[in-house]
Each structure stands twice: as structure tokens, then as C-alpha cells.
């Protein structure tokens, strides 16, 4: 499967997903080009988190197709481990490994999964921790760090795998307002460096400032989408307008 | 040293408290052999039963129903039948089927002797409990931490080895401690198949010297001390495994 | 960057719950006994090949079954008696561990630890050898046959374990209960008997039932010290049949089977109760 930069990096077509009898995604389509920052917003239960978890294969889909760099995710013969080297993910609950220090958390996957040399991985990990502003927290354990710090380590951990696209699943929802900014700043810097990011978020200010494209989902469908300027100022669909009026 | 031992002879003559394993070389040798056999038996069984527990807990997470069923049957059978009868079954019923080899004195002896059968039987007995203990520990690891590992591309075995087991271990140490203490106490059952462990040798001595009371008290104190040492070792191990910041 | 030294608001790990997983289910799957039955039939079939003069192993087993079952009933009897005695003594010891009197508390604790750390078989020997063969109570001579001594010997570890169960259950109650009682001017004894212990009874039931299952399985130890119960009878039956090696597996497997059929439902019930009580609490 060859893929070049002119095609979308992530291409989602008519995706349907149900949990048992509950249908959560009812035909979603969207494209993400390389280097773009996409924000998906919407009320809870609209399927946002489910959608991005489908992109890296944590959830499977019943119908439709998801192409990541030309590779079909829905293919039963897909090597999920290979996919996950290309697609990174940062979770709402940070999910750091509590029994490893921050440095070890970041180093572990490159050494175990990518089989990198230990010393090289260690140096790269230290650089990444500096990049997210936590160079003095190398030897700290997750239990000794605040939520915001843990989330930044989680971002560094994802970056260590050198992915082509990173998924962010409501990563600031569990943080208190002061620490939210630390994390958003880190993501903004990533975006400026050219990383393709897909975010599910409630942070409208961030979306307006950083995103290239915004999608609004409700009831498992994409109701409206557009670039931030058009979206926030000239929303057309009544549902979108209602949602925005509640949030803003 | 001799005077130390002779003091016990004097004790016997003066007060009638007879501790032949102190003043008599042969008896002392017997008790030391018995003590050593008990320690060996306990250590080997502890090791094997923990391994069986870990492997069994891993198999219980298997996607195949057959594997899970087999492990469940094993657990329920070994947990709900008397360990003594299991021991007899292994030693007598299964032992008969084992091929015999020529020994040094021109006769034949079975390939696995009574000590070996004791190890096998007790390890499987304790292992059955350990599988459940490890299973509970594995369930205590939050699903989201496992997902984070999956999202980083770890394989199922890698996740089990690097993340699930270390975290589960810290959680199950109190129960494991309890179980291992029971294992040490259960080694006395080997007496029934003439394994020369501590109880057996003490029995020999009190049959010769008719000093049951003293030997009984000695046994109670000896096991108290043995168990105490095990508990202390487990507690230090627990302390060394403590994750900073994660306390209960 | 500002550093916030507070701990994370999300738990790093879930609290540890010693509850069995859905995998096991709380239904009684007696078909788990099938492997044992298969073992009995299988081993007798293998051994049968060759000789048809002697009775097949299964028929021999059938002949002896009534006797073995009688022996098992004796085991159950011993277990019930030992449980009763042990629970009674253990309750006293357990409450002693909670006493405000330091002497009572430490001696109860010491006794509990001592008998908990001792192997059951050693305590059995202890009782068998050191108890007199008859006692003189108020002029009446009461003989203590072997099985009574064995029962007392088995009651000792039960006592220690019951004491620990009680202590554990009391400690597991939130301290708010004690504080509430104190602020209502209950005396210590009233608090213990009217508030704490009734709540603990539910928590104590599953481990207590578990202890009973362990005790039942421990009754076979009495065969080592010469009491006539199911294992002794099995040994005698095998000897009476001339020590045929092909009978060993079926007979021992049968004993395993009886215990399994008795203890497994108890284990299932315990799991179900534990789950029910933890949901309520």
C-alpha cells in the first residue's frame, strides 16, 4: 500500500459502530491531511471518543473503512502492532505505568516494541521530557506527580514512538483549570512542529486558536464542520448553534 | 560448643526435660536433616506454586474457552479435595505407573521418590490457590493502563510481563503471604509418605526417647520461627517493591 | 512552569477486591467432578486388561462403597464437632483480642498467633499424645477415645483462625461506627455487643464457611494418627483386597470424589455470599 503526502493521512468513510444493540457511530466520514490539527467536539455520548479509538484499532467497526496512510484498519489480517507504531494515543486518564519512573515510562516502549538500543532510547527520552518541560522529573514516579505533569509525560511517551499521527482523547478533561494550560501549551508546540493531531476536546479556545479544521458530532453523525473562523462565527446547523451557545 | 550441648544433658538429669537432639550427636544430626528437608521442601514448593499460579492466571485470560475451562477444572479439583488424599493419590496411584530404574544397590527404585512426589503434589495444591490470587491481582490493574500499553504497540505477552504482573504482584502480596505460610505448614503432610522432614524426624526421636512433650513444644516453636522468618522475608520484599506515591 | 505537588485526583490503581471473577461463576458446576469419575473408570479399565479372574476395579469399589461412605460421614461428624468447639473457643479468644485490658489483649493475641502458625498435623499430634486418655470431672471418669482427642486437636487451629476472622472483621468496620457509638454515650461493652459485632457477623460468614471447608478436608489427617475414618478404611479395604496395585487409583480417586462433592458446593455458596455482602456493604 503506497501512500504519498497528497492523499489524506487518515481517511474515514461511512463508519458504523455499535456496542451490542446500541449504535454509536452512524456513518461518519472525515479526512485528515498530513500536518493538520483536527478537533472533534460535541455533546457527550455523541461518539467522539469511540471514533478516535477506532482509528488505532482499540475498537473495531461494523461497517465502513478507516485508512491510515493507505492501510485499512478494518482488515482482519492487519498487524495491529504495526498500526500502533504509526498512530499514538494520549488518554483522558493519563494511564502511566505506576511502577516505573517518568523516564522509564517514556523509554519502555521504544526499547521493548521498537527494539531500540537502551542508551539511544534513554537519550531520546530525556530530550522528550525536556520538550514537555519536565526535565527535572526524570526519576519521579507517577504517584508523585500532579495530573498535569502526568499528562505531559503521557504525551512524551507517545512521542517516543515517533508516530505519524497522535490521537488525543479529552486529555484535559480530568485536570483542574490551572494545569489545563500546561498541557494545551505542549500540544500547541507539537502542532507547530508539524505533528498531525486529532483531538477530542471541550477546550473551545484551544480549538479556535490551533485547529485547522473542526468537526461537530451529535448522535453518531457529523453535523457540521469547517475551519475555526467559519465554524465559530457562521455556524449554520441549529444543533451546532445550540451547542456553541451552551459552551461559549 | 561441647559444654553448650552438655548443659542439656545436665538439664535432663536435673529436671527431667529431655532434649536429646541437643546433647546427642546422632539425634542432633537427625533434627538438622529434618529441618533442612523441611526448608528445602518449602522453598521448592513455594517457587513452583508461584510459577504455576502465574502461568495459570495467564492461561485464564486466554481467548480460547477450552484453555480457560481446563484451568478452572484444575483449580476447583485441587482446592476442594484434601491435600493429603492428593498426596496419597500421586505417591501411590500415580507412583505405581512410573518406570523403575536400577539403583546403587542392585535393586530397583522408582524414578520419582517420596520427596519428589511431595513437591509435585504440594506445588499443584498451592498453585491452585495462587492462580486465583494472581487472577484477582490482574483484575486490579485498571483496564485503561492496559489500553495505554496496547496503544503503544506492546504485544499481549509483553503487557503481561512488564505491566500486569509487576502491578498485580504488589497488590496480591498480602494474600500470597498468607498462602505461602499455609504451604510451609502443609509440608508436614509429607510425613505421611515418609519424607524425612522435621515432623518425621521428631517422631523418630520421641519414639526412641519417649519425650513427646518436649518434642511437641520444640516443633511448635520451630514452626513458629520458620513461619515468622517467611513472613518477615515477605514483608521486606513488599517494602522493597513499594511504588513511591502509590500507597493505600 | 509552576509545579503542583498534590497527588493525582484519579486513582493510580483500583482498590484490591478479593472477589472471584465472572469466569468462575457462582453456579455449582458439579460436572467438574467428571474428570475424577473418568479417572476412576479409566484407570480401572486400563488395569483390567488381562485378568478376568478377579473382579474389576469398579465392581470392587462398589462393594466397598457403603463402608467408605460411612467412614466419610464420620469425617463430617468430626468436622462439625471440631467447628463447634473451635468457633466457641475462637469467639472468646477473638473478643479477648479486642479487650481494653492489655494483659488479656496480648495473651489472646499471642495464643492466636501461636496456634495459627503451627501446622495442623503437629497440633493433632499434640492433642493425641498430650491429652489424657480419660478425664476426671467431679468424680465421673470420662474416657477420651482417640476420635475425641483428634476432634479437640482439630479444634485448636479452628479456634485460632476464628479469632483472626473476628479481629479482621471488627477492624474492617469504618472507625466512624465506633465514634458514633461513643458520641451516643454507649459503653465499650455495649458498643461491641450491640453495634460492632452484629455488623461483623455478615462479614465473618464467608471466611468462616471457607474455614469449615478447610477443616473438613483436614479431617483426613486423623488417619495418620490412627483414628478410623474414611482414609483408614480405604487403606484397610485395599489391604483386604490383597494390595492390588490396580485398585489404588480408583479407590483414592473415589475418596477425592466424595470430598469434592461435599466441599465444592460449600465453596460456591461462600463465593455467592461474599459477593452479595460486598455489594451491600
CATH of the domain at C140: 1.10.3720.10
What confidence category does residue C279 fall into, taking pLDDT thresholds of 50, 70 and 90? Answer: low
- Residue C19, pLDDT > 50, answer no
Confirm or reject contact between C204 and chain B (CB < 8 A). no
Helix H or strand E segment including B55? helix B25-60
Q: Which three cell numbers stand for residue A1?
A: 500500500
- C107 vs C35, more confident: C107
> What residues have CB less than 8 Å from C207, skipping those under 6 apart?
C165, C168
pLDDT confidence of residue B167: 85
Dihedral sign for Cα B41, B47, B51, B54, please.
positive
Confirm or reject contact between A43 and chain C (CB < 8 A). no
Cα separation, A178 vs A92, in Å, equals 16
By Cβ distance, the residue of B154, B243, B244 closest to A109 is: B154
Indicate yes or no: CB of C12 within 8 angstroms of CB of A179. Answer: no
CA distance C182 to chain B (A): 27
Write the ipTM. 0.82
By Cβ distance, the residue of A93, A113, A141 closest to B244 is: A141
- A180 vs C179, more confident: A180
Q: Using a CB-CB distance cutoff of 8 angstroms, which residues of chain A are in contact with residue C15?
A: none
Q: Using a CB-CB distance cutoff of 8 angstroms, which residues of chain B are in contact with residue A91?
A: 144, 147-148, 151
Q: Using a CB-CB distance cutoff of 8 angstroms, which residues of chain C are in contact with residue A182?
A: 1
pLDDT confidence of residue C21: 41
Flag whether C55 is in a domain.
no
Flag whether C32 is in a domain.
no
Indicate yes or no: CB of C12 within 8 angstroms of CB of A147. Answer: no
Indicate yes or no: CB of B77 within 8 angstroms of CB of C256. Answer: yes
For cell 448553534, the residue is: A241
Mean pLDDT of C50-54: 51
pLDDT confidence of residue B101: 75
Confirm or reject contact between A105 and chain C (CB < 8 A). no
Residues within 8 A of C (CB atoms), A 181-210 only: 182
> What residues have CB less than 8 Å from C217, skipping those under 6 apart?
B80, B81, B82, B83, C259, C263
Indicate yes or no: CB of A99 within 8 angstroms of CB of B170. Answer: yes
Q: How far is CA B36 from the centre of its chain?
A: 14
pLDDT confidence of residue C27: 54
Range of the domain at A115: 33-57+77-247
Q: How far is CA B31 from the centre of its chain?
A: 19
By Cβ distance, the residue of B60, B81, B223 closest to C117 is: B223
Q: Using a CB-CB distance cutoff of 8 angstroms, which residues of chain C are in contact with residue B168?
A: none
pLDDT confidence of residue C210: 86
Mutate to test the interface with A, among C1, C2, C7, C11 (most CBs of A within 10 A): C1
pLDDT confidence of residue C47: 55
Closest CA to C111 of C161, C167, C160, C179: C160
Indicate yes or no: CB of A112 within 8 angstroms of CB of B162. Answer: yes
Mutate to test the interface with B, among A99, A101, A111 (most CBs of B within 10 A): A99
Q: Angle CA(C100)–CA(C153)–CA(B77) in degrees, nearest 5?
A: 105
Query: Nearest residue of B to residue A158 by CA position?
Result: B152
Flag whether C229 is in a domain.
yes
- Residue C176, pLDDT > 80, answer no
How would you label A21-36 residue by residue, b for 16+ Cβ within 10 Å and e otherwise?
Answer: eeebbeebebebbbeb
Q: Is B106 helix (H, G, I), strand (E, B) or coil?
A: coil
Cα separation, A91 vs A170, in Å, equals 7
- Residue C14, pLDDT > 60, answer no
What CATH number has the domain bearing residue A120? 3.40.50.300
pLDDT confidence of residue A82: 82
pLDDT confidence of residue B111: 77
Which long-range contacts (C-beta less than 8 Å, at least 24 apart) are formed by C176-180? none
- Residue C6, pLDDT > 60, answer no
CB B181 within 8 A of CB C117: yes
Least confident of B188-197, B216-225, C100-109, C174-183: C174-183
Cα separation, A226 vs A10, in Å, equals 17
Query: Nearest residue of B to residue A57 by CA position?
Result: B151
Q: With helix as H, strand as E and coil as C, how does chain C read?
A: CCCCCCCCCCCCCCCCCCCCCCCCCCCCCHHHHHHHHHHHHHHHHHHHCCCCCCCCHHHHHHHHHHHHHHHHHHHHHHHHHHHHHHHHHHHHHHHHHCCCCHHHHHHHHHHHHHHHHCCHHHHHHHHHHHCCCEEEECCEEEECCHHHHHHHHHHHHHHHHHHHHHHHHHHHCCHHHHHHHHHCCCCHHHHHHHHHHHHHHHHHHHHHHHHHHHHHHHHHHHHCCCCCCHHHHHHHHHHHCCCCHHHHHHHHHHHHHHHHHHHHHHHHHHHHHHHHHHHHC
Closest CA to B9 of B30, B25, B31: B25
Residue-wise pLDDT for C195-245, tens only, equals: 788 778 888 888 888 899 889 999 999 999 888 889 999 988 888 888 777
Domains: count for chain C = 1
CB B181 within 8 A of CB B42: no
By Cβ distance, the residue of B79, B85, B189 closest to C252 is: B85
Residue-wise pLDDT for B187-235, tens only, equals: 999 999 988 888 888 888 888 887 888 888 888 888 888 888 888 888 8
What percent of chain A is modeled with pLDDT above 70?
A: 99
Cα separation, C251 vs C65, in Å, equals 9
Cα atoms in the Cβ-side hemisphere of radius 13 Å centred on A74: 16
pLDDT confidence of residue C226: 86
Q: How far apart are the first and last CA of chain A?
A: 43
For cell 478494518, the residue is: A74
Chains sharing 3 or more CB pairs under 8 A with chain B: A, C
By Cβ distance, the residue of C12, C20, C220 closest to B85 is: C220
- Residue C22, pLDDT > 50, answer no
Q: How many Å is the Cα radius of gyration of chain B?
A: 23
pLDDT confidence of residue C26: 45
Closest CA to B149 of C224, C16, A105: A105
Q: Using a CB-CB distance cutoff of 8 angstroms, which residues of chain A are in contact with residue B153?
A: 81, 84-85, 109, 113-114, 161
Burial of A193 (0-12, 13-18, 19+ CB in 10 A): exposed
Mutate to test the interface with A, among B148, B163, B173 (most CBs of A within 10 A): B148
What confidence category does residue C150 fall into, taking pLDDT thresholds of 50, 70 and 90? Answer: very high
CA distance B83 to chain C (A): 8
CB A224 within 8 A of CB A231: yes
Mutate to test the interface with C, among A147, A156, A179, A189 (most CBs of C within 10 A): A147
CA distance B132 to chain A (A): 23
Indicate yes or no: CB of B142 within 8 angstroms of CB of A113. Answer: no
Q: Which three cell numbers stand for residue A105?
A: 515510562
- Residue C254, pLDDT > 60, answer yes
Cα separation, B128 vs B49, in Å, equals 8
Flag whether A14 is in a domain.
no
Chains sharing 3 or more CB pairs under 8 A with chain A: B, C
Indicate yes or no: CB of C4 within 8 angstroms of CB of A148. Answer: yes
pLDDT confidence of residue B248: 38
pLDDT confidence of residue C273: 83
pLDDT confidence of residue C278: 67
Closest CA to A93 of B147, B144, B243: B144
Indicate yes or no: CB of A141 within 8 angstroms of CB of B243. Answer: yes
Cα separation, A175 vs A182, in Å, equals 10
CB B217 within 8 A of CB B200: no
Domains: count for chain A = 1
Confirm or reject contact between C161 and chain B (CB < 8 A). no
Sheet arrangement for strand A63-68: A22-32, A10-19, A63-68, A71-72
Residue-wise pLDDT for A60-77, tens only, equals: 888 888 988 888 888 888
Confirm or reject contact between A158 and chain B (CB < 8 A). yes
pLDDT confidence of residue C42: 66
- Residue A4, pLDDT > 90, answer no
CB pairs under 8 A between A and B: 77
Written as tens digits, the pLDDT of chain B (248 aa) is 677 777 777 777 777 777 777 777 788 888 888 999 999 999 999 999 999 998 998 888 888 889 999 998 999 899 899 999 999 999 888 887 777 777 777 677 777 888 999 999 999 999 998 998 888 888 888 888 898 998 888 888 888 888 888 888 888 887 888 888 888 899 999 999 988 888 888 888 888 887 888 888 888 888 888 888 888 888 888 888 877 765 43
Flag whether A64 is in a domain.
no
Indicate yes or no: CB of B147 within 8 angstroms of CB of A58. Answer: yes
Q: Angle CA(C161)–CA(C164)–CA(C165) in degrees, nearest 5?
A: 85
Flag whether A152 is in a domain.
yes
Closest CA to A109 of B155, C60, C202: B155
Average pLDDT, chain C: 79
Cα separation, C193 vs C179, in Å, equals 15
Q: Which three cell numbers stand for residue A203?
A: 477546550
- Residue C50, pLDDT > 70, answer no
Mean pLDDT of A217-242: 85
Confirm or reject contact between B121 and chain C (CB < 8 A). no
Cα separation, A6 vs C131, in Å, equals 92
- Residue C162, pLDDT > 90, answer yes
Flag whether C38 is in a domain.
no
Indicate yes or no: CB of B153 within 8 angstroms of CB of A141. Answer: no
Closest CA to C277 of C209, C228, C222: C209
Query: Nearest residue of C to residue B218 by CA position?
Result: C122
Range of the domain at C260: 63-280
Mean pLDDT of C44-73: 73
CB C213 within 8 A of CB B80: yes
Closest CA to A232 of A211, B81, B219: A211
Q: Kind of pairing, strands A221-226 and C140-143?
A: unpaired
DSSP E strand boundaries for chain A: 10-19, 22-32, 37-41, 63-68, 71-72, 87-90, 165-169, 196-200, 213-218, 221-226
Q: Go through the domains of chain B in sequence order and give each one's CATH number.
A: 2-241 (1.10.3720.10)
Q: Kind of pairing, strands A37-41 and A213-218?
A: parallel
pLDDT confidence of residue C48: 52
Cα separation, B123 vs B162, in Å, equals 25
What confidence category does residue C24 fall into, taking pLDDT thresholds of 50, 70 and 90? Answer: very low
Cα separation, C210 vs C204, in Å, equals 10
Sheet arrangement for strand A165-169: A87-90, A165-169, A196-200, A37-41, A213-218, A221-226
pLDDT confidence of residue C9: 41
For cell 498435623, the residue is: C121
pLDDT confidence of residue C2: 30
Q: Is A22 helix (H, G, I), strand (E, B) or coil?
A: strand
pLDDT confidence of residue C17: 43
Which long-range contacts (C-beta less than 8 Å, at least 24 apart) are formed by C214-218? C215/C79, C215/C82, C215/C83, C215/C86, C215/C154, C215/C158, C216/C75, C216/C76, C216/C79, C216/C259, C216/C262, C216/C263, C216/C266, C217/B80, C217/B81, C217/B82, C217/B83, C217/C259, C217/C263, C218/B82, C218/C120, C218/C154, C218/C157
Query: Nearest residue of C to residue B192 by CA position?
Result: C224
- A32 vs A6, more confident: A32
Query: Nearest residue of A to residue C6 by CA position?
Result: A146
Flag whether C102 is in a domain.
yes
By Cβ distance, the residue of A133, A143, A179 closest to C4 is: A179
Q: Is A21 helix (H, G, I), strand (E, B) or coil?
A: coil
Amino acid at each position: 500500500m503506497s501512500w504519498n503526502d497528497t492523499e489524506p493521512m487518515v481517511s474515514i468513510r461511512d463508519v458504523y459502530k455499535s456496542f451490542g444493540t446500541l449504535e454509536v457511530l452512524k456513518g461518519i466520514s472525515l479526512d485528515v491531511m498530513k500536518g493538520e490539527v483536527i478537533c472533534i467536539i460535541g455533546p457527550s455520548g455523541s461518539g467522539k471518543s469511540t471514533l478516535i479509538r477506532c482509528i488505532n484499532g482499540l475498537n473495531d467497526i461494523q461497517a465502513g473503512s478507516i485508512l491510515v496512510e493507505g492501510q485499512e484498519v478494518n482488515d482482519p489480517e492487519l498487524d495491529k502492532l504495526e498500526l500502533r507504531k504509526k498512530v499514538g494515543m494520549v488518554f483522558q486518564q493519563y494511564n502511566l505505568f505506576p511502577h516505573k519512573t517518568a523516564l522509564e515510562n517514556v523509554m519502555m516502549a521504544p526499547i521493548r516494541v521498537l527494539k531500540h538500543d537502551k542508551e539511544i532510547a534513554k537519550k531520546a527520552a530525556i530530550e522528550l521530557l525536556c520538550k514537555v518541560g519536565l526535565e527535572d522529573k526524570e526519576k519521579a514516579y507517577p504517584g508523585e506527580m500532579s495530573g498535569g505533569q502526568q499528562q505531559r509525560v503521557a504525551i512524551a511517551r507517545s512521542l517516543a514512538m515517533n508516530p505519524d499521527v497522535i490521537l488525543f482523547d479529552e486529555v484535559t478533561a480530568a485536570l483542574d483549570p490551572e494545569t489545563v494550560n500546561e498541557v494545551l501549551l505542549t500540544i500547541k508546540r507539537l502542532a507547530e512542529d508539524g505533528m498531525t493531531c486529532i483531538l477530542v476536546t471541550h477546550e473551545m479556545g484551544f480549538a479556535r486558536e490551533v485547529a485547522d479544521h473542526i468537526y461537530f458530532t451529535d448522535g453518531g453523525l457529523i453535523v457540521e464542520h469547517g475551519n475555526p473562523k467559519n465554524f465559530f462565527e457562521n455556524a449554520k446547523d441549529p444543533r451546532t448553534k445550540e451547542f456553541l451557545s451552551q459552551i461559549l | 560448643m561441647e559444654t553448650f550441648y552438655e548443659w542439656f544433658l545436665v538439664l535432663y538429669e536435673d529436671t527431667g526435660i529431655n532434649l536429646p537432639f541437643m546433647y546427642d550427636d546422632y539425634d542432633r544430626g537427625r533434627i538438622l536433616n529434618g529441618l533442612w528437608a523441611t526448608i528445602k521442601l518449602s522453598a521448592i514448593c513455594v517457587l513452583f506454586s508461584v510459577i504455576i499460579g502465574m502461568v495459570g492466571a495467564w492461561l485464564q485470560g486466554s481467548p480460547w474457552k477450552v484453555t480457560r475451562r481446563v484451568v478452572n477444572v484444575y483449580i476447583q479439583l485441587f482446592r476442594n479435595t484434601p491435600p493429603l488424599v492428593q498426596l496419597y493419590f500421586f505417591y501411590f496411584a500415580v507412583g505405581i505407573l512410573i518406570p523403575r530404574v536400577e539403583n546403587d544397590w542392585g535393586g530397583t527404585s522408582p524414578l520419582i521418590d517420596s520427596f519428589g512426589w511431595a513437591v509435585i503434589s504440594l506445588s499443584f495444591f498451592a498453585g491452585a490457590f495462587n492462580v486465583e490470587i494472581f487472577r484477582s491481582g490482574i483484575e486490579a490493574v485498571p483496564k485503561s493502563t492496559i489500553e495505554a500499553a496496547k496503544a503503544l504497540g506492546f504485544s499481549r505477552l509483553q503487557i503481561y510481563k512488564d505491566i500486569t504482573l509487576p502491578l498485580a504482584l504488589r497488590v496480591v502480596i498480602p494474600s500470597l503471604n498468607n498462602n505461602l505460610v499455609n504451604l510451609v505448614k502443609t509440608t508436614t503432610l509429607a510425613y505421611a509418605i515418609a519424607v524425612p522432614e522435621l515432623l518425621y524426624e521428631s517422631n523418630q526421636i520421641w519414639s526412641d526417647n519417649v519425650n513427646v512433650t518436649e518434642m511437641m513444644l520444640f516443633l511448635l516453636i520451630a514452626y513458629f520461627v520458620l513461619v515468622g522468618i517467611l513472613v518477615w522475608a515477605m514483608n521486606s520484599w513488599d517494602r522493597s517493591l513499594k511504588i513511591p506515591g502509590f500507597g493505600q | 512552569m509552576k509545579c503542583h505537588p498534590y497527588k493525582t485526583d484519579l486513582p493510580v490503581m483500583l482498590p484490591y477486591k478479593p472477589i472471584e471473577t465472572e469466569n468462575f461463576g457462582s453456579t455449582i458446576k458439579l460436572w467438574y467432578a467428571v474428570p475424577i469419575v473418568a479417572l476412576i473408570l479409566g484407570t480401572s479399565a486400563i488395569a483390567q486388561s488381562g485378568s478376568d479372574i478377579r473382579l474389576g476395579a469398579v465392581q470392587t469399589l462398589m462393594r466397598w462403597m457403603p463402608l467408605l461412605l460411612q467412614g466419610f460421614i464420620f469425617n463430617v461428624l468430626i468436622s462439625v464437632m471440631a467447628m463447634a468447639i473451635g468457633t466457641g473457643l475462637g469467639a472468646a479468644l477473638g473478643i479477648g483480642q479486642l479487650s481494653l485490658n492489655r494483659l488479656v489483649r496480648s495473651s489472646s493475641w499471642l495464643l492466636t498467633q501461636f496456634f495459627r502458625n503451627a501446622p495442623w498435623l503437629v497440633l493433632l499430634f499434640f492433642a493425641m499424645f498430650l491429652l489424657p486418655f480419660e478425664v476426671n470431672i467431679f468424680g465421673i471418669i470420662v474416657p477420651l477415645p482417640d476420635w475425641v482427642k483428634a476432634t479437640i486437636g482439630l479444634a485448636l487451629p479452628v479456634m485460632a483462625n476464628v479469632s483472626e476472622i473476628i479481629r479482621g472483621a471488627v477492624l474492617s468496620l469504618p472507625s466512624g461506627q465506633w465514634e458514633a457509638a461513643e458520641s451516643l454515650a454507649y459503653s465499650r461493652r455495649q458498643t461491641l455487643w450491640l453495634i460492632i459485632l452484629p455488623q461483623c457477623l455478615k462479614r465473618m460468614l464467608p471466611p468462616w464457611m471457607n474455614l469449615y471447608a478447610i477443616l473438613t478436608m483436614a479431617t483426613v489427617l486423623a488417619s495418620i494418627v490412627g483414628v478410623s475414618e474414611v482414609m483408614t478404611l480405604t487403606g484397610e479395604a485395599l489391604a483386604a483386597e490383597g494390595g492390588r496395585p490396580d485398585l489404588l487409583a480408583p479407590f483414592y480417586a473415589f475418596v477425592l470424589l466424595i470430598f469434592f462433592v461435599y466441599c465444592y458446593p460449600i465453596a460456591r455458596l461462600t463465593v455467592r455470599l461474599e459477593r452479595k455482602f460486598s455489594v451491600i456493604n
